């Protein structure tokens, strides 16, 4: 079991309220990802769940038990840090088994649990090495293994992949997804990375300035955002925002995803000038400067040879627009 519930959680650092009343339920076995701009409070919220940071107001409960004031070691929660936090003088085996050893578990049990986790993470051959003798990716797997060995009710991850290079990030991301499937454990994960959030999460929590903007499944947030903040934050490249008035529409602004824009001859619904082209191989991003709407991004499948400076017309299916009011709230 591992059902997490936050009610009215707030956090002050001195006079500054950085978490402003968060309510959140994470079901047993769910993979929940916190995203939001730098400084919005993702890590602080995670650290409060772990017990590494005091809660100013509200409660944190795990499986119905109020753990707001329970010390970290007694919460049955394991946290994996960006920095790995391994003991350099201990072998992989001893790093992974340490929590069980400290809890006074029998040797045979520690050995079995460590070897089971090592097999899951393909660390079997490395058990007698020390952290300095491992690659960054292997160290991160040891840090994850150390969490698994404890059999916690809840796993917390604070940007665990951000120190890895691009290829290893992809590989480790897939391993974490597999691990989640195999363990069926509840996980809460903080990241900056759109793709990690979209691919790993059952549920994404979008935070902004210490408040929840929207909670939902990845494709729910992508296809049905509640406001301009979520619409602009989820999706890369980000959604284009058009001035409704210039299009003869009654909303305040209208959002459209880059993949929904078609580029053709003048006149289109909007005309503009190509200001930059990025060829990514499988797709091309064309940045178009427009008088009425500023810079728009079109995402085209395959390769396109649009010359910088050329003029073109942009069209789209009006049914694909998201409409917003002046305060940025979605008009449905
Ligand atoms: N110990 C502290 N004392 C005072 N202010 C703090 C402390 N820790 C964090 N803050 C502030 O709280 C806010 C939230 O910080 P937090 O690290 O949780 O954000 P974050 O969303 O994880 O950011 P990032 O993505 O950049 O890691 C920030 O404004 C930060 O400056």
* Nearest one of 226, 214, 231 to 330, comparing CA atoms: 226
Residue 168 lies in a domain: yes
Write down the pLDDT at residue 167.
Answer: 83
Is residue 39 in contact with ligand 1, taking CB distance under 6 Å? Answer: yes
Write down the pLDDT at residue 186.
Answer: 97
Is residue 37 in contact with ligand 1, taking CB distance under 6 Å? Answer: no
* Euclidean distance between CA atoms 300 and 315, whole angstroms: 13
Is residue 38 in contact with ligand 1, taking CB distance under 6 Å? Answer: yes
For residues 256 and 204, membership in a common domain is answered with no
Q: How far is the CA of 187 from the centre of ligand 1 (A)?
A: 21
Q: Give the end of a domain, one of 227, 258, 289.
A: 227
Write down the pLDDT at residue 81.
Answer: 86
Is residue 273 in contact with ligand 1, taking CB distance under 6 Å? Answer: no
List residues bridging with 19 in a β-sheet.
11
Is residue 209 in contact with ligand 1, taking CB distance under 6 Å? Answer: no
List residues bridging with 215 in a β-sheet.
205
Question: Going residue by residue through the chain (332 aa), what tens digit of pLDDT does each one get?
Answer: 899 999 999 999 999 999 999 999 999 999 999 999 999 999 999 999 999 999 999 999 999 999 999 999 899 999 998 878 899 999 999 999 998 998 899 999 999 999 999 988 889 999 999 999 998 888 989 999 999 998 899 999 999 888 888 888 888 899 899 989 988 999 999 998 888 999 999 999 999 999 999 999 999 999 999 999 999 999 999 999 999 999 999 999 999 999 999 999 888 889 999 999 999 999 999 999 999 999 999 999 988 888 999 999 999 999 999 999 999 999 99
R_g of the chain computed on alpha carbons: 24
Best residue among 10, 13, 22, 37 to mutate for probing ligand 1's pocket (most ligand atoms within 8 Å of CB) is 13
Write down the pLDDT at residue 188.
Answer: 97
- Ligand 1: residue whose CA is nearest its atom 26: 38
Q: How far is the CA of 177 from the centre of ligand 1 (A)?
A: 27
Write down the pLDDT at residue 228.
Answer: 98
Residue 265 lies in a domain: yes
Is residue 56 in contact with ligand 1, taking CB distance under 6 Å? Answer: no
For residues 203 and 114, membership in a common domain is answered with yes
- Ligand 1 atom showing the smallest separation from residue 53 Cα: 1
Token pair of 202 as six digits: 């059952």
For residues 241 and 223, membership in a common domain is answered with no
Q: How far is the CA of 39 from the centre of ligand 1 (A)?
A: 5
For residues 36 and 152, membership in a common domain is answered with yes
For residues 166 and 279, membership in a common domain is answered with no
| Sheet with 270-279, edge to edge strand ranges | 262-264, 311-315, 270-279, 283-290, 294-301
Q: Can you give the CATH number for the domain in which 321 is found?
A: 2.40.50.140
- State the DSSP string of 233-281: HSSSSPPEEEEGGGGT-SSSEEEE-GGG-EEESSSSSEEEEEEEEEE-S
Is residue 210 in contact with ligand 1, taking CB distance under 6 Å? Answer: no
For residues 47 and 179, membership in a common domain is answered with yes
Q: How far is the CA of 43 from the centre of ligand 1 (A)?
A: 7
Q: Which residues contact 90 (CB under 8 A, 6 or more apart)?
A: 98, 130, 131
- Ligand 1: residue whose CA is nearest its atom 25: 38
Q: Give the end of a domain, one of 227, 253, 274.
A: 227
Is residue 191 in contact with ligand 1, taking CB distance under 6 Å? Answer: no
For residues 21 and 116, membership in a common domain is answered with yes
Q: Which residues contact 309 (CB under 8 A, 6 or more apart)?
A: 273, 274
Residue 232 lies in a domain: no
For residues 89 and 117, membership in a common domain is answered with yes
Residue 202 lies in a domain: yes
- In tens, the pLDDT along 204-257 reads 999 999 999 999 999 999 999 999 999 999 999 999 999 999 999 999 999 999
Q: Can you give the CATH number for the domain in which 40 is found?
A: 3.40.50.300
- Ligand 1 atom showing the smallest separation from residue 44 Cα: 18
Residue 111 lies in a domain: yes
Residue 100 lies in a domain: yes
Token pair of 124 as six digits: 């079997």
3-class secondary structure, 126? helix
- Ligand 1: residue whose CA is nearest its atom 2: 13
Rounded alpha-carbon distances, angstroms, from residue 171 to 2, 81, 105, 161: 26, 18, 33, 10
Q: How far is the CA of 268 from the centre of ligand 1 (A)?
A: 45
- Ligand 1 atom showing the smallest separation from residue 34 Cα: 21
Is residue 255 in contact with ligand 1, taking CB distance under 6 Å? Answer: no
Q: What percent of the chain has pLDDT over 70?
A: 100
How many domains does one find in the chain? 2
3-class secondary structure, 156? strand
Q: Give the end of a domain, one of 227, 247, 275.
A: 227
Rounded alpha-carbon distances, angstroms, from residue 290 to 220, 243, 254, 301: 30, 11, 15, 22
Sign of CA dihedral 273, 276, 279, 285: negative
- In tens, the pLDDT along 262-298 reads 999 888 889 999 999 999 999 999 999 999 999 999 9
Residue 130 lies in a domain: yes
- Ligand 1: residue whose CA is nearest its atom 24: 38
**Residue found by looking up tokens 């499937």 in the block:** 181
For residues 148 and 269, membership in a common domain is answered with no
Domain hosting residue 282, numbered range: 237-331
For residues 55 and 158, membership in a common domain is answered with yes
For residues 308 and 218, membership in a common domain is answered with no
For residues 217 and 260, membership in a common domain is answered with no
Residue 39 lies in a domain: yes
């Amino acid at each position: 079991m591992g059902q997490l519930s936050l009610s009215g959680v707030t956090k002050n650092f001195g006079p500054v309220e950085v978490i402003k009343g968060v309510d959140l339920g994470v079901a047993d076995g769910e993979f929940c990802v916190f995203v939001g701009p730098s400084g919005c409070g993702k890590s602080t919220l995670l650290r409060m769940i772990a017990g590494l940071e005091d809660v100013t107001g509200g409660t944190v409960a795990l499986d119905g038990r109020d753990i707001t004031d329970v010390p970290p070691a007694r919460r049955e929660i394991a946290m994996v840090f960006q920095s790995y936090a391994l003991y350099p003088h201990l072998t992989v085996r001893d790093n992974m088994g340490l929590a069980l050893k400290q809890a006074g578990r029998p040797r045979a049990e520690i050995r079995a649990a460590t070897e089971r986790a090592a097999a899951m993470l393909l660390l079997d051959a490395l058990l007698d090495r020390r952290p300095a003798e491992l690659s960054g990716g292997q160290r991160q797997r040891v840090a994850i293994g150390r969490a698994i060995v404890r059999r916690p009710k809840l796993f917390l991850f604070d940007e665990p992949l951000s120190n890895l290079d691009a290829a290893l990030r992809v590989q480790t991301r897939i391993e974490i997804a597999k691990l989640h499937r195999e363990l069926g454990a509840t996980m809460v994960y903080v990241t900056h990375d759109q793709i990690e959030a979209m691919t790993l999460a059952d549920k994404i929590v979008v935070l902004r300035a210490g408040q929840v903007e929207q909670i939902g499944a990845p494709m729910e947030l992508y296809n049905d955002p509640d406001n301009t903040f979520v619409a602009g934050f989820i999706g890369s490249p980000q959604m284009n925002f058009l001035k409704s008035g210039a299009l003869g529409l009654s909303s305040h602004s209208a959002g459209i995803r880059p993949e929904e824009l078609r580029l053709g001859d003048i006149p289109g619904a909007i005309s503009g000038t190509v200001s930059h082209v990025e060829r990514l191989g499988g797709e091309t991003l064309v940045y178009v400067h427009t008088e009425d709407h500023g810079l728009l991004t079109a995402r085209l499948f395959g390769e396109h040879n649009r010359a910088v400076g050329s003029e073109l017309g942009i069209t789209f299916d009006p049914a694909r627009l998201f409409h917003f009011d002046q305060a940025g709230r979605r008009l449905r």
